């Protein structure tokens, strides 16, 4: 990639290395909660965390932040691992916050012993009340001054299942007058009699994010714990726990989360789109999830490139989704194999080409690659499918395709001249009749005829019929998730267009999912996972040019 200046995290890390902090070691982590599929925002975090470690010869842990038993599932764990691997990264250790439940419990006991944590019987509403407001200090809970012995006993009883959900919590005893609301005796543990995807029913108390995350970082000796800006006010608490527990001093750094136009990007909202039937699952190709982008034909290289180009910001911003589309176009232009497919078929008959004759033309797979990456055979015969839009009954002046008397080149084949056409009773054109110029064969053209247009085609006798799915933006407005909006009201009803019968050249019958194809003049496509032998489905990844009306 091109030379660029250091981002602020690289500057911090280089400074730390110069100062010999952590013996120059760089250890990051990517900490997803397994409560949904990863989206393009997570890709940003993955590329950042793994990228920093790669750049400074460090390591990255994959840590599942699984402290909310009700929302977490093994299905999500599996999909997250698959997505990180597909993006091209290898983690050092596969870890789970739930593996630390015993240790976190012991940490909590240590804080109780130091007089820095207490069991509170207040209700959630009372606790909210006790916190005060940003301008007014909080008020102590009546249980704030319980003795260490009583707290130890009650906390053990909480763990042992003696109390119902919500009956008691464990709170840190910090500062009810702190200007930082997170420091006003935050909750460390709550009671949840819920089944956990890994620990089963072993626990009925679960640590809060703030008591789990920093301690997990510390246990793993993470040096640079990178998270998004909304965690800035949590940092004081992150540091407080580490200092009070006298454990490895991991440090938290914050960057701006990725937001993208025409998209919503929180797992909660994406789950709503799935559950309420706006899309057909987490990997519906219109979704911003990694699995959807993969299914749609995005390459991992294009997503990494995108994450690199948007850089690392310290302030919230919103990235134009066209940049993501630009990145995949750039990559597919270099890697996709060229093929011919007709999406809106119209029959073309070459009247001077014998009925029983066939020819095989040879087309390079990838003209952008130095060696062309091999070639494929393209059969030709008297009857072809062409795009309906490549014929006009009354062509306009600059129309360089087919119309009465007009000539055009058939890609990889001959120059043809349009002599006639057939209309049905409804006035629709059903056939175009042409004659071909035998001396104009591609690569061996002695006809001296110059034509301005080249069109794609497939031989009707050899073509396979397939379904093609074209996608538009899932939302009609740039910022469907803006405050005061219900994003569901802005779903684009035309985001999916299904073409039930398009025709492909025969070589495409052996397409595989994930391989990118440029359907000449039509865009980039890949085979969808819902394909079956003889019933192929192609997704359009992206158009050839940015056709979005601004």
CA 245-249-253 angle, to 5 degrees, is: 125
Strands (E), 176-334: 187-191, 205-207, 224-228, 251-255
Question: What is the Cα–Cα distance from 461 to 356, expressed in whole angstroms?
Answer: 11
CA distances from 165 to 169, 193, 308, 528 (A): 9, 6, 45, 45
Contact letters (x/-) for Mg ion, 33-62, by CB under 5 A?
x-----------------------------
Q: Which of 22, 28, 32, 466 binds ligand ATP (CB under 6 A)?
A: 32
Q: Is 65 annotated as a binding residue?
A: yes
Nearer to ligand ATP, 253 or 361 (CB): 253
Residues 115-134: x where in contact with ligand ATP by CB under 6 A, - otherwise, as a string: --------------------
Interface segment toward ligand ATP; rule CB under 6 A; list 41-49, 179-187, 200-208, 438-446: 41-49
Q: Which of 494, 82, 501, 466 is nearest to 293 (CA)?
A: 82
Q: Among 190, 267, 295, 329, which one carries the catalytic annotation?
A: 267
Q: Which is nearer to Mg ion, 61 or 526 (CB)?
A: 61
Q: Of 252, 257, 208, nearest to 43 (Cα)?
A: 257
| Known active-site residue 267 | yes
Which helix (H) or strand (E) segment is 153 a member of? helix 148-159
Asked if 228 touches ligand ATP (CB under 6 A), the answer is yes
Does 35 show up as a binding residue in the annotation? Answer: yes
Does residue 33 bind ligand ATP (CB under 6 A)? yes
**Contact flags string 430-469 toward Mg ion, x per CB under 5 A:** ----------------------------------------
Q: For the residues of 165-190, what is the DSSP string, one character each?
A: TTS-EEEE---TT-SSGGGSS-EEEE
- Cβ atoms 469, 496 nearer than 8 A: yes
Q: Which is nearer to ligand ATP, 33 or 121 (CB)?
A: 33
β-strand partners of 341: 504
Can you read off the two tokens belonging to residue 393? 């009954």
Residue 327 has a CB neighbour count (10 Å cut-off) of 23
197 binds ligand ATP (CB under 6 A): no
CB 381 within 8 A of CB 353: yes
Give 125's Cβ-side CA count (13 Å radius). 0
The structure tokens listed for 276 are 């309420």
Span near ligand ATP by CB under 6 A; candidates 262-270, 384-392, 415-423, 432-440: 262-270
Considering only the stretches 30-38, 368-376, 435-443, 476-484, report the one whose residues sit in contact with ligand ATP under the rule CB under 6 A. Answer: 30-38
Annotation says 71 is catalytic: no
Outline where 19-100 has alpha helix (H): 40-55, 74-86
Burial class (CB in 10 A: 0-12, 13-18, 19+), 370: exposed
340: three-class secondary structure by DSSP: coil
Pick from Mg ion, ligand ATP, none: which does 72 bind, CB < 5 to 8 A by kind?
A: none
**Is 33 a catalytic site residue?**
yes
- Per the residue annotation, which of 190, 257, 304, 540 is the catalytic one? 257
Nearer to ligand ATP, 34 or 363 (CB): 34
| Smallest separation (angstroms) from Mg ion to the CB of 71 | 9
Residue 40, annotated ligand binder? yes
The token pair that represents 26 in the structure block: 């760089």
> Which string of x and - marks every residue 455-494 that binds ligand ATP (by CB under 6 A)?
----------------------------------------
Task: Quote the strand ranges of 98-248, DSSP E.
Answer: 117-120, 169-172, 187-191, 205-207, 224-228
403 binds, among Mg ion, ligand ATP, none (CB under 5 to 8 A by kind): none
- The entry of ligand ATP, Mg ion, none near residue 32 (CB within 5 to 8 angstroms by kind) is ligand ATP
DSSP 155: H
Residue 345 interacting with ligand ATP (CB under 6 A):
no
Binder of residue 338, out of Mg ion, ligand ATP, none (CB less than 5 to 8 A by kind): none
Distance CA 122, CA 120 (A): 6
Q: Fill in the per-residue mask, 18 to 37: x = in contact with Mg ion (CB under 5 A), - = not in contact.
A: ---------------x----
Tell me if 62 contacts ligand ATP by CB under 6 A.
no
C-beta of 141 vs 216, nearer to Mg ion: 216
CA 204 to each of CA 197, 267, 481: distance values in angstroms, whole numbers, following the listed order: 13, 25, 35
Q: Which residues are annotated as a binding site?
A: 33-35, 39-45, 65, 209, 228, 257-258, 265-267
Q: By the criterion CB under 6 A, which residues form the site for ligand ATP? A: 31-33, 41-42, 44-45, 65, 227-228, 257-258, 265-267
Q: Which residue numbers are catalytic?
A: 33, 257, 267
Q: By the criterion CB under 5 A, which residues form the site for Mg ion? A: 33
């Amino acid at each position: 990639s091109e030379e660029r200046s250091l981002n602020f995290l690289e500057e911090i890390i280089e400074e730390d290395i110069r100062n010999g902090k952590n013996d120059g070691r760089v250890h990051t982590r990517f900490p997803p909660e397994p409560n949904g599929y990863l989206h393009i925002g997570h890709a940003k975090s993955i590329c950042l965390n793994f990228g920093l470690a790669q750049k400074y010869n460090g390591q990255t842990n994959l840590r599942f932040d699984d402290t909310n038993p009700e929302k977490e599932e093994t299905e999500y764990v599996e999909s997250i691992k698959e997505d990180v691997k597909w993006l091209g990264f290898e983690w050092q250790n596969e870890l789970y916050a739930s593996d630390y439940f015993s240790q976190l419990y012991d940490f909590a006991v240590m804080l109780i012993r130091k007089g820095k944590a207490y069991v509170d019987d207040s209700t959630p509403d009372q606790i909210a009340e006790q916190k005060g407001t940003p301008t007014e200090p909080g008020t102590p809970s009546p249980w704030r001054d319980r003795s260490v012995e009583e707290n130890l006993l009650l906390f053990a009883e909480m763990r042992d299942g003696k109390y119902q959900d919500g009956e008691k919590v464990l709170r840190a005893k910090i500062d009810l007058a702190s200007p930082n609301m997170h420091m006003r005796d935050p909750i460390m543990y709550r009671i949840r009699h819920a089944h956990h995807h890994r620990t089963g029913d072993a626990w009925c108390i679960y640590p809060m994010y703030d008591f789990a995350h920093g301690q997990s970082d510390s246990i793993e000796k993470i040096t640079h714990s990178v998270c998004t800006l909304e965690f800035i006010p949590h940092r004081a608490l992150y540091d407080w726990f580490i200092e009070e527990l006298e454990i490895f001093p991991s440090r938290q750094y914050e960057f701006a989360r990725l937001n993208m136009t025409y998209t919503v990007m929180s797992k909660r909202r994406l789950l709503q789109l799935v559950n309420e039937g706006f899309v057909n699952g987490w990997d519906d190709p219109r979704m911003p999830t990694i699995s959807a982008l993969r299914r749609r034909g995005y390459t991992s290289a294009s997503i990494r490139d995108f994450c690199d180009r948007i850089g690392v910001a310290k302030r919230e911003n919103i990235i134009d989704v066209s940049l993501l589309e630009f990145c995949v176009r750039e990559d597919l232009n270099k890697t996709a194999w060229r093929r011919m497919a007709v999406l809106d078929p119209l029959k073309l008959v070459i009247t001077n080409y014998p009925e029983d004759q066939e020819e095989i033309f040879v087309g390079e797979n990838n003209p952008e690659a130095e060696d062309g990456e091999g070639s494929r055979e393209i059969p030709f015969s008297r009857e072809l499918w062409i795009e309906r839009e490549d014929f006009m009954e009354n062509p306009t002046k600059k129309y360089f395709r087919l119309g009465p008397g007009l000539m055009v080149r058939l890609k990889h084949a001959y120059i043809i001249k349009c002599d006639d056409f057939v209309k049905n009773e409804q006035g629709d054109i059903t056939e175009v009749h042409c004659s071909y110029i035998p001396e104009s064969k591609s690569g061996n053209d002695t006809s001296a005829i110059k034509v301005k247009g080249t069109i794609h085609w497939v031989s009707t006798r050899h073509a396979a019929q397939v379904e093609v799915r074209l996608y538009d933006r899932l939302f009609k407005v740039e910022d469907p998730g803006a405050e005061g909006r219900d994003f569901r009201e802005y779903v684009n009803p035309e985001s999916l267009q299904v073409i039930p019968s398009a025709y492909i050249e025969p070589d495409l019958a052996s397409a595989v999912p994930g391989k990118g194809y440029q359907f000449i003049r039509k865009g980039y496509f890949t085979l969808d996972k819902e394909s079956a032998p003889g019933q192929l489905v192609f997704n359009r990844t992206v158009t050839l040019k940015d056709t979005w009306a601004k």
